[in-house]
Structure 1
């Protein structure tokens, strides 16, 4: 009886152990290939059923991780004033010898996302990060985030994750987005109001809010009654190969059709025109046409950096080991 209780407690302990380090997961995978499940179980002191789940997860990620990541980094970041007068906001140092975008790339690497593309614009020559692919938006003052993303359209074909360069995200957030079994999904923060409690330099009416029904986005907008919406878009989205095809086709339909109600001089959802549109405007277009976009809910673990107040808040979280 005693041995049975010990076994049960041991299994429970294993079940609580979390594997988020991609190198540890890879080591287990390689050991199983070389030594088999039984020997690997002894080496890592893990139950075989758990090892099997880890191996399956790693194999699935080998496919997923062929996806590119497109980091949108073309804007000026003028609200940081002197900090971005001679430097693009993504290159501002957030911790010792590490810029915002370098920290983001480092986090992406931790979940096995290594194929990185950066869309740059403002002071583009300042971007000298190695082992990334660059796309240039030289008319960044004339367009907005949606069109900026499509300067990297060549990187979309096999599926991609897109993310903002002026935010900090935890490893867990990228892993959740990567693991989500949807063709199109976006990160959503349900408990979004807490972050705005002392964020008076960035009011709540600038939040990109979403309304949910059965886990799907039904509406996404800045211009809404926040009391009727269910969370905030955090700036990370995933499109599989199928999802990317849907996105690209519908963008070009809206952008290029002369008979479309969205021409350059007409509104595109919340935007004054499609050239000035945000990602959220394109998401709403897809939703209105019946394409499902799912929410991947996150519990904090991210900070959007728009103002000096935001920058100081993020820096403090990092220094305290909270992000």
Structure 2
């Protein structure tokens, strides 16, 4: 959806900006799209109106831009509805009666938003980041990604899938990297992080950018969690939500291989909005909770997430970013902190336990001891 601050942007100037940021020549882009360079030049200079939806789709993929935002810009440029919407209405004329009902009943923006949220909740999806080496698990991950570790006859990844499906999340994607061929369950969408040895969680997520839309949960692959965690996460209507455990300190008692100083902690305000997130110095500041490695985005939140990622990537590639030595090595929490720093609200979904991180050999052994009691009840 076009926001008021975006209404001065044109479709042509926006795609030109994206093209230049990615270092793609006009002729090169036109060739890949399958149009004449002169036609693309006219679009960028606003001599022609925005193209049809099939061309917009190609531009979106090539310039790594959110297709909904591009369609909205195209519609605004033409002073009409977005091309993808007009195409959909033409092919589904019954939708007109629904729009007419909204008009007749004079639904408010809040009521329309509520309808949209209900629809999105019923079609929620998940993206699991499983590309990392898992080197801290030593011999256990010499030949396996850590999400393939066994827990009671099922792998850690299978345990995650069971919980998601129990909560009605059936559209699930996985980002693979290390020992990718070991992760091969049916019914999942797979994306490959081809540079997993040189990047980190944040950049890994964007190998699956095409599915980051709608109502989506993005989670680490090395966490065991109970259904209540996913249920509470799905209930959040905020654009960007992170899951925070406020009963976190006890988990670090006696935890030697992953000390409390390495926790991804969160400080939040009275509105449950993030103020600080990451490896915060626990000795100097009051920490309210621990980020468990799960984030939820609405469709608008996904647009914000993607637009700022590409903006920051252009600025900080090969340069220090937040607590990371380079943007490539940034954690998800570095990115969240940057969003907070520029004034974007990030909501905390508060939980009290109900999850475990499997990061080290020590974590794995402890989790196995208590597994039957906590995660394998019949």
Scaled by the length of structure 2, the TM-score of the pair is 0.66
Corresponding residue of 2:196: 140
Q: How many residues were matched structurally? A: 260
SS of the residue corresponding to residue 104 of structure 1 reads helix
Corresponding residue of 1:306: 359
Q: Structure 2: how far apart are the matches of 1:276 and 1:107?
A: 30
> Does structure 2 conserve the Cα–Cα contact (< 8 Å) formed by 1:201 and 1:309?
yes
Corresponding residue of 1:180: 236
SS of the residue corresponding to residue 187 of structure 1 reads strand
State the 1:316 CA deviation.
2.2
Please report the RMSD computed on the Cα atoms of aligned residues, expressed in angstroms: 1.7
Work out which of the residue numbers 146, 169, 179 in structure 1 matches 2:225: 169
Higher relative contact order (CA 8 A, sep 6+): 1
The superposition leaves residues 223-242 of structure 1 with CA deviations (integer Å, 9 ceiling, x where unpaired) of 42354221110111100000
Q: Does 1:244 align with 2:297?
A: no
Change (3 A) 1:265 1:62: closer
Q: Does 1:315 align with 2:368?
A: yes
Work out which of the residue numbers 118, 125, 144 in structure 2 matches 1:87: 144
Corresponding residue of 1:74: 131
State the 1:157 CA deviation.
2.0
Corresponding residue of 2:276: 219
Corresponding residue of 1:197: 253
State the 1:264 CA deviation.
2.1
State the 1:265 CA deviation.
2.7
SS of the residue corresponding to residue 320 of structure 1 reads helix
Q: Structure 2: how far apart are the matches of 1:178 and 1:314?
A: 26
For structure 1, the 5+ residue unaligned runs are: 1-58
Corresponding residue of 1:268: 321
State the 1:104 CA deviation.
0.3
State which drifts further: 168-177 or 216-225: 216-225
Corresponding residue of 2:333: 280
Q: Does 1:294 align with 2:321?
A: no
State the 1:307 CA deviation.
1.0
SS of the residue corresponding to residue 131 of structure 1 reads coil
Q: Structure 2: how far apart are the matches of 1:114 and 1:159?
A: 12
> Does structure 1 conserve the Cα–Cα contact (< 8 Å) formed by 2:226 and 2:375?
no
Runs of 4+ in 1 over 6 A off after TM superposition: none
State the 1:126 CA deviation.
1.1
State the 1:288 CA deviation.
0.9
Change (3 A) 1:315 1:60: farther
Q: Does 1:235 align with 2:293?
A: yes
Q: Does 1:208 align with 2:264?
A: yes
Scaled by the length of structure 1, the TM-score of the pair is 0.77
Change (3 A) 1:322 1:140: closer
SS of the residue corresponding to residue 268 of structure 2 reads strand
